[in-house]
Amino acid sequence: MAGGFSVIAVCVMRIASYFAILEIYLSQEVWKPIMMPVILAVVLIIVALAAGLIIGAVIGYQRRKAFAEREIGSAEEEARRVINEAIKSAENKKREATVEAKEEILKARNEFEKEVKDRRSELQRQENRLNQKEENLDRKTENMERKEEQLSARSAQLERDKEEIETLKQSQLEALERISGLTTEEAKRYLIEQLEDEVTHEEALKIKEIQARFKEEADTYAREQIALAIQRCAADHVSEATVSVVPLPNDEMKGRIIGREGRNIRTLETLTGVDLIIDDTPEAITVSCFDPVRREIARLALEKLILDGRIHPTRIEEMVEKAKREVDATIKAEGERAVFETNVHGLNPELIKLLGRQHYRTSYGQNVLNHSIEVSHLAGLLAAEIGANVTEAKRAGLLHDLGKSIDHEVEGSHVQIGVELARKYREGEGVIHAIEAHHGDVEARTIVACLVQAADAISAARPGARKENVEYYIKRLEKLEELTSSFPGVDKAYAIQAGREVRIMVKPEEVSEDRMVILAREIAKKIEDELEYPGQIKVNLIRETKAIEYAK
């Protein structure tokens, strides 16, 4: 209906617009006679169309209303039919559900009654068992009471027997004391002494057996690993001199070096801190100084002055400064060479310089820098053979004698100085401990420290590596004999085989054969703790018993 009215409204609006247009045309006098019939015809046609549209819209509205009423009526009938069918279906399902529920209830009731019956029968069986167990417990309780009474009677009998045994034991002890002439305490003391002798004997035998077995196994394995490490590490065997000799072209040069009233030699000695020995040795000057770096600077300066020929205090100062720069460059280059050869990375630049200073340092004729490089290689090889930390072992081996680079300038042993330098430049605790323990100043607690000790001993003890003067050699032998003679029961001690063996004569009345094994171990332990020596020392104990009698 609304759509029909909207169409009518559109038509009316268009008719109005046409009339407006016609009114404009008719406003002109020329067109009025011609257009009036046309206009009337058009108006009639438009009015007829409008009336037709209105009538059609009304008829359409009535038809649609009737159709809608018929549709609504059929829908209501269909809805009533569906509702009736749903009600019937619900009643049927309700009846079916009621029947099923009754069947389930009946089934559950039957099962419950059966379960109750089973539980009652089980409870009856358990009650019967409990009654039976209670009867058994009653019987056992009666048996236990009877046994307790028997035990009480037996205990009383045992007490009486014990008293009789104690009395008999006391009487037997008194009889034994009268027969043996010893009191109980004396007999106990005698037995304890006998037992101590037997235990000492067994202990000595056991120690000897264990030491022999482990020494054999350890020596075999150690020889294999050390021999392999030595074979893989090649090193020179040349000893270096600890003094510097500067050759002169002629003896006249000595006078020029001394200078007028000795001013040249005093200037050189003051600037370098060395002593120049100008003796009767032809065409040579000896440079003496405890600091090897100063000695090297003085040697280079002297050689440059001799080549230059101009020797006076100003020129001496220039040559000494030039020699210092050359020595500093050599020190840096040698430190870098050591780091490169050992493949040790991450060292502080100051540590590299200290390593380079070891190039001019010797120990018993052995170059300390070459010795440190050799120890680093040996420690790394040994660590690789036994599965230890190779990097840490090589680093500790290279730095183990670090203190020797400045031990002429700083007080203290080279071990203490090396530990302080390593801590100062933030080395690891494992490396610091290896430096501290490589001469046995502290007990080695890590495998790396033990490897550095072994590598240091190998490098120092190989043939041609070191030499010692006679005075130190004699003092070492005297110290060894004095230490071994300090033990009770030792009669005489002799150091032989260049100090690699000590023979000890013991008093047979004070040291038994079993005690000798323990005494030898104690002496060896004290030598390890208090002496410094290359390689190893064999402790050889000798006990001799003599029986002398004269036939008259």
* Statement to judge: residues 250 and 103 lie in one domain: no
**Strand 538-543 relative to strand 501-506: parallel, antiparallel, unpaired?**
parallel
> Distance between CA 533 and CA 483 in Å, rounded?
14
* Statement to judge: residues 342 and 480 lie in one domain: no
* Statement to judge: residues 451 and 481 lie in one domain: no
For 350, phi then psi, to 5°, come to -70, -35
**Is 239 within the bounds of a domain?**
no
**Is 483 within the bounds of a domain?**
yes
**Is 157 within the bounds of a domain?**
yes
**Is 253 within the bounds of a domain?**
yes
> Distance between CA 275 and CA 278 in Å, rounded?
10
Determine the structural domain holding residue 517 and report its residue range: 470-543
Beta bridge partners of 495: 502
Question: Which of these three, 437, 461, 485, is where a domain ends?
Answer: 461
Q: Transcribe 202-221 into DSSP letters.
A: HHHHHHHHHHHHHHHHHHHH
* Statement to judge: residues 357 and 281 lie in one domain: yes
* Statement to judge: residues 441 and 508 lie in one domain: no
Beta bridge partners of 286: 245, 277
Strand locations in 345-437, DSSP E? 362-363, 366-367
**Is 372 within the bounds of a domain?**
yes
* Statement to judge: residues 414 and 481 lie in one domain: no
As for how many domains the chain has, the answer is 3
**Is 21 within the bounds of a domain?**
yes
Helices 313-342 and 349-357 sit at what angle, rounded to 10 degrees? 110
For 540, phi then psi, to 5°, come to -115, 110
* Statement to judge: residues 494 and 427 lie in one domain: no
* Statement to judge: residues 69 and 169 lie in one domain: yes
* Statement to judge: residues 483 and 447 lie in one domain: no
Q: What is the CATH number of the domain that holds 378?
A: 1.10.3210
Instruction: Give the dihedral of Cα atoms 507, 513, 517, 523; nearest 10 deg.
Output: 0
Helices 429-437 and 447-461 sit at what angle, rounded to 10 degrees? 40
For 295, phi then psi, to 5°, come to -60, -40
Question: Which of these three, 434, 461, 488, is where a domain ends?
Answer: 461
**Is 65 within the bounds of a domain?**
yes
Structure tokens at 53: 């549209």
Q: How would you write the pLDDT of the chain (552 residues) with one tens digit per residue?
A: 555 555 556 555 666 665 566 565 555 554 555 556 666 666 677 777 777 778 877 787 788 877 877 788 788 888 888 888 888 888 888 888 888 888 888 888 888 888 898 988 899 989 889 989 888 888 888 888 888 888 888 888 888 888 888 888 777 777 776 776 667 677 777 677 767 766 776 777 777 777 677 666 665 655 555 555 555 554 544 444 455 778 788 777 878 888 888 888 888 888 888 888 887 667 788 888 777 888 888 888 888 888 888 888 888 889 889 989 998 999 899 999 988 988 888 889 898 988 888 888 877 667 888 888 988 988 888 888 888 888 999 999 999 888 888 877 778 888 889 899 999 988 889 999 999 888 877 888 888 888 888 888 887 765 555 555 556 668 888 888 888 888 988 988 988 876 778 899 998 888 888 788 888 888 988 888 888 776 678 888 888 877 777 786
CA nearest to 326, candidates 299, 288, 291 = 299
* Statement to judge: residues 292 and 425 lie in one domain: yes
* Statement to judge: residues 291 and 323 lie in one domain: yes
Structure tokens at 99: 């029947």
> Distance between CA 180 and CA 411 in Å, rounded?
71
* Statement to judge: residues 431 and 507 lie in one domain: no
**H-helix or E-strand containing 502?**
strand 501-506
Its pTM stands at: 0.48
**Is 235 within the bounds of a domain?**
no
Q: What is the CATH number of the domain that holds 485?
A: 3.30.300.20
Q: Is residue 286 within 8 Å of 275, Cβ to Cβ? A: no
Q: What is the pLDDT of residue 157?
A: 87
CA nearest to 301, candidates 280, 289, 287 = 287
Burial degree of 90 (CB within 10 A; 0-12, 13-18, 19+)? exposed
Q: Is 405 helix (H, G, I), strand (E, B) or coil?
A: helix
Burial degree of 460 (CB within 10 A; 0-12, 13-18, 19+)? middle
Q: Is residue 360 within 8 Å of 328, Cβ to Cβ? A: no
For 246, phi then psi, to 5°, come to -105, 120
Question: Which of these three, 402, 435, 461, is where a domain ends?
Answer: 461
